Amino acid sequence: MRYHFLIAFTGLLSLFLALLSLSASTSVEPVAHYQAIAAKLLNAQAEQTLGDQTRYEIVSATHAIEIDWDDKWDELLGHSLNYAFETGKRAGMILITNDVDDTTELMQLSALLRLYDLPVTLWVIDKKTETLRLFSEE
End-to-end CA distance of the chain: 69
* pLDDT single digits (tens) 22-44: 433 344 889 999 999 999 999 99
Is the pLDDT score of 123 beyond 90? yes
What is the C-alpha separation between 71 and 23, in angstroms, rounded? 22
pLDDT at residue 54 in the model: 78
Angle at 33 between CA 31 and CA 37, to 5 degrees: 115
* pLDDT single digits (tens) 89-106: 999 999 999 887 777 888
Q: What is the pTM of this model?
A: 0.76
| Domains (range + CATH), the chain | 31-136 (3.40.50.10670)
